[in-house]
Amino acid sequence: MKAEDRAGFDFEWWGKESTTTRSGQACRSESSRCSGTGRELQLTVTVPSSLSLGISLWPDGIGWKGKGVFRSPVLNTVLPCRPYHTGLCAAKLLVESGLNPVVLEARNRVGGRTFTVQNKETKYVDLGGAYVGPTQNRILRIAKEFGVETYKVNEKENLVHYVKGKPYPFKGPFPPMWNPLALMDYNNLWRKMDEMGKEIPMEAPWRAPHAEVWDKITMKELFDKLCWTRAARQFANLFVNVNVTSEPHEVSALWFLWYVKQCGGTMRIFSTTNGGQERKFVGGSNQISQRIASKLGERVKLERAVYRIDQTGDNVVVETLNKETYEAKFVIIATAPGLHLKMHFNPPLPPLRNQLIHRVPTGSVIKCMVYYRESFWRKKGYCGSMVIEEEESPIGLTLDDTKPDGTVPAIMGFILARKARKLAALTKEERKRRICEIYSRVLGSEEALYPVHYEEKNWCEEEYSGGCYTAYFPPGILTQYGKVLREPVGRLYFAGTETATEWSGYMDGAVQAGERAAREDVPARQFVATFWERNLPSVPGFLKFLGTSSVLTAAVVASLLAYKRGLIPRS
């Protein structure tokens, strides 16, 4: 493996048990001002042959994207880790800041909770994070930089709300309520949630005026207090399922109200048009990670995982599953908090941090894509978006997933929260059958029963994600532990979409989290002045010193002359 440090040295490794680096060219760095054959840097790297985990060391540092991040022995480098695009965005920013990170990814692919599959049946399909929309400016900026275009999810025709066994076409972000009491109840619920959200600081929700009270209750308890009608309460439950892949009785009211607020409010988070699901990326969302990885080149290493991080020495020592050992100055960990349990820390994590990672589970979702010969739903006046309120239905929400040119007709559906856990026991074929049956009833078409292809991804079985979309906070956790979520521990920094303060749980939040952690990890070092820099006088000071010295010298000389001539009596 070869690497070049920022000063211009070339280094080469050879041998598995230990290695000595050698320089291959003169230093080009103005700050170092060295020349000739260069310096020698000796590093010992133990590489057992149990697993195919490797690493590339750069004198400017090493990096790791997987289940943690760390730096190189003597130099300043960073190692980002996994969810969505977080680690790669952190590495990208570090490179642009003049550092030279290496990214280690625990999986055999980049992208984390984004996952684009390519095959002849689908061309490409996003089985993980896929949607972007207005105000998600960070991910859109990255996409534009790498030439990845977006297209609008189809919503030209009617959406359909399926409740009590009947379909009701509608337009807009939320289904209408025909019962006047339900309509008032429904409208008051969204208005009240947005009003409560306005009291919650995005950067520190635990500082909200009513934080303690709201954090002690679940969203189910809040809905029971706010909702007068069963219709509003049932839709509110689905609203939680869709947005955080969890149940209302599982999540803190404070956390969920914050989550909705930092995504722009109830309408922005739930809407397709002008909302969080307005657009997708042409070619798939995983392109962004792939293009960043391509730009980073050999800095990105796949199938790397870490189980031990030791901060007790001058440098951080990191050990991988196959007993490779590396040293670094700093570490960025960009995984969901619960995945930190796969790592061993020395010294142990502080009490609050240690308990936090035991208390924040990740949501449950199976993403399902059903492909058809044609977009028959459009012929019936439906856009493909379905909001399904039926306990026996596996799917709660769908969107049209036909390609922007009209080819590969498909409907995307989410199996959410309790249903994802329940239906995980079924076979893939059985899940497909049940999904097609509910689509047939909602759309009123036999064609829905005859798909030409089916894809799905159960994120609950992903070892290095633990679920999707994001980690959630049960009651009582945010006010007690939230303040340590982004707080560094020694030379350890934390990223991941869960640490974002805008669009947390989305790709945009992942970018924000990665760039924030990278900026934290580019520390400002103290400038140390030399003795002369501290004590050398200014020109006026020097002239004043000369003047004073001249007077004193003249006085001493005059005194000596007077003394020798007897003008000054001897005592």
CA–CA gap between residue 105 and residue 8 (Å, rounded): 27
* Encoded tokens for 240: 């939680």
Which 3-state string (H, E, C) describes 282-342?
CCCCHHHHHHHHHHHHHHEECCCCEEEEECCCCCEEEEECCCCEEEECCEEECCCHHHHHH
CA–CA gap between residue 455 and residue 122 (Å, rounded): 9
- How far is residue 531 CA from its own chain's centroid? 46
- CA triple 169-171-176, angle to 5 deg: 70
* Encoded tokens for 541: 């000071």
- Measured from the Cβ of residue 86, the count of other Cβ atoms closer than 10 Å reads 36
Closest-CA residue to 324 (of 45, 14, 13, 3): 45
Are 372 and 409 in contact by the 8 Å Cβ rule? The answer is yes
Closest-CA residue to 337 (of 461, 511, 492, 218): 492
E strands within 164-224? 166-170
Which residues have CB under 8 Å from 350's CB, separation 6+?
484, 489
Amino acid at 495: A
Beta-bridge mates of residue 125: 117
Amino acid at 378: R
**DSSP-based three-state secondary structure for 362:** strand
CA–CA gap between residue 136 and residue 291 (Å, rounded): 19
Is 105 among the annotated ligand-binding positions? Answer: yes
Is 414 among the annotated ligand-binding positions? Answer: yes
Is 306 among the annotated ligand-binding positions? Answer: yes
CA–CA gap between residue 81 and residue 117 (Å, rounded): 22
Amino acid at 313: G
CA–CA gap between residue 200 and residue 541 (Å, rounded): 56
CA–CA gap between residue 431 and residue 425 (Å, rounded): 10
Are 55 and 62 in contact by the 8 Å Cβ rule? The answer is yes
Is 498 among the annotated ligand-binding positions? Answer: yes
DSSP 393: -
CA–CA gap between residue 60 and residue 330 (Å, rounded): 12
* Encoded tokens for 510: 């992942």
* Encoded tokens for 396: 């709660």
**By CB neighbour count within 10 A (0-12 exposed, 13-18 middle, 19+ buried), where does 431 fall?**
buried
Is 558 among the annotated ligand-binding positions? Answer: no
Beta pairing class for 410-416 and 397-400: antiparallel
* Encoded tokens for 228: 């007068």
Q: Is 139 left (phi over 0), alpha (psi -120 to 50) or beta?
A: alpha
The binding site for substrate consists of 414
Task: Write out the binding residues for FAD.
Answer: 86, 105-106, 306, 498
Residues annotated in the binding site, as ranges? 86, 105-106, 306, 414, 498
